[in-house]
Amino acid sequence: MSALSTAELTAIYTDLHAHPELAFAEHRTAGIVAERLRGLGYDVHGGVGGTGVVGVLANGAGPRVLLRAEMDGLPVTERTGLPYASTDTAVTPDGHATGTMHACGHDVHVTCLLGAAAELADRRAEWSGTVVALFQPAEEVGGGARAMVDDGLFDRVGTPDVVLGQHVMPLPVGVVNLTPGTAMAATDSERITLHGKGGHGSSPEATVDPVLMAAATIQRLQGIVSREVGAGEKAVVTVGSVRAGTQANIIPDRAELLVNVRTFDAGVRERVLAAIHRIVAAEAAASGAPQQPDHESIATFRLMVNDPAASERTGAVLARTLERHRGTIEAAGGTPALIAMPPLPGSEDVGDLATAAGVPLVYWNLGGFDTALFAGFDLAAATGMGNLPDGVAPNHSPFFAPVPEPTLDLGVALLVAAAQEWLDAV
- Residue numbers in the known binding site are 104, 106, 140, 167
How many whole angstroms separate alpha carbon 384 and alpha carbon 354? Answer: 23
The answer to whether the beta carbons of residues 74 and 394 sit under 8 Å apart is no
DSSP state of 373: G
Q: Which residues have CB under 8 Å from 27's CB, separation 6+?
A: 21, 51
The answer to whether the beta carbons of residues 138 and 131 sit under 8 Å apart is no
How many whole angstroms separate alpha carbon 404 and alpha carbon 213? Answer: 46
DSSP element (H, E) containing 424 = strand 424-425
The answer to whether the beta carbons of residues 296 and 201 sit under 8 Å apart is no
**Among 18, 45, 50, 23, which Cα is nearest to 33's?**
45
Residue type, 16: L
> 367 to each of 154, 174, 242, 282, 283, how far by Cα in Å?
31, 6, 33, 45, 44
As annotated, the binding site for Mn(2+) includes 104, 106, 140, 167
Start-to-end C-alpha separation, the chain = 21
Q: Which residues have CB under 8 Å from 366's CB, separation 6+?
A: 108, 112, 166, 167, 168, 169, 171, 176, 407, 410, 411, 414
Q: Which residues have CB under 8 Å from 128's CB, separation 6+?
A: 59, 60, 61, 62, 423, 424, 425, 426
Q: Which residues have CB under 8 Å from 277's CB, separation 6+?
A: 295
How many whole angstroms separate alpha carbon 31 and alpha carbon 13? Answer: 15
Residue type, 65: V
